[in-house]
């Protein structure tokens, strides 16, 4: 059963099982909308990024928006930690690395790394079990990418 089942009450807790796509979306939305709010610009940017991935090739724009709404509702109700833990357990290592790449890209869209962003990315790579060397390379590349 997936995230939708959790919201509809057929699952007892959000921690049960998420699909890989749901789990990936949780991490990305948690990166940008930890407060439970997602602006239209953020939603459009995330939709664009996710729609280019194999993981989301069967998702229409409407399906992504519905998924975002469900995730945001759970974030507001249960907080990020519960949902993040369920998401992390549902992702393979390669998808954890991919989630870190996309999250880093979103965090560094301005091409600079603030102290707060540095702490967040540090916590995220540790939580996702991404190797330190790979995390450093990803941050360096995303800083270069987002300079222009």
Same domain, 97 and 83: no
Identify whether the C-beta of residue 23 lies closer than 8 Å to the C-beta of residue 86: yes
What spatial distance separates the first Cα and last Cα of the chain, rounded to whole Å?
A: 42
Read off the pTM: 0.83
Q: How many domains does the chain have?
A: 2
Q: Are residues 99 and 65 in the same domain?
A: no
- Say which residue, 38 or 4, is predicted with more confidence: 38
Same domain, 78 and 97: no
Instruction: State whether 54 and 126 are in the same domain.
Output: no
Average pLDDT over residues 2-24: 61
Q: Which of 90, 116, 136 is the last residue of a domain?
A: 90
Q: Which residue has the higher pLDDT, 38 or 34?
A: 38
* In a shared domain, residues 59 and 115: no
Q: Which residue range forms the structural domain that includes residue 138?
A: 92-148
124-142 per-position pLDDT tens digit: 999 999 999 999 999 999 9
Looking at the structure, do residues 108 and 64 belong to the same domain, yes or no? no
DSSP string, 126-143: HHTT--HHHHHHHHHHHH
């Amino acid at each position: 059963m997936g995230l939708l089942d959790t919201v509809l009450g057929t699952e007892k807790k959000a921690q049960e099982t998420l699909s890989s796509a749901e789990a990936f979306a949780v991490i990305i939305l948690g990166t940008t909308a930890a407060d439970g709010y997602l602006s239209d610009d953020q939603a459009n940017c995330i939709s664009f990024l996710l729609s280019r991935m194999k993981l989301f090739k069967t998702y229409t724009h409407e399906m992504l928006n519905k998924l975002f709404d469900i995730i945001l509702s759970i974030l507001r109700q249960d907080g990020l930690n519960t949902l993040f833990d369920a998401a992390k357990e549902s992702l393979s290592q390669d998808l954890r690395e991919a989630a870190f790449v996309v999250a880093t890209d979103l965090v560094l869209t301005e091409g600079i790394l603030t102290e707060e962003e540095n702490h967040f990315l540090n916590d995220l790579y540790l939580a996702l079990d991404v190797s330190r060397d790979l995390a450093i390379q990803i941050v360096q590349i995303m800083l270069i990418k987002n300079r222009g």
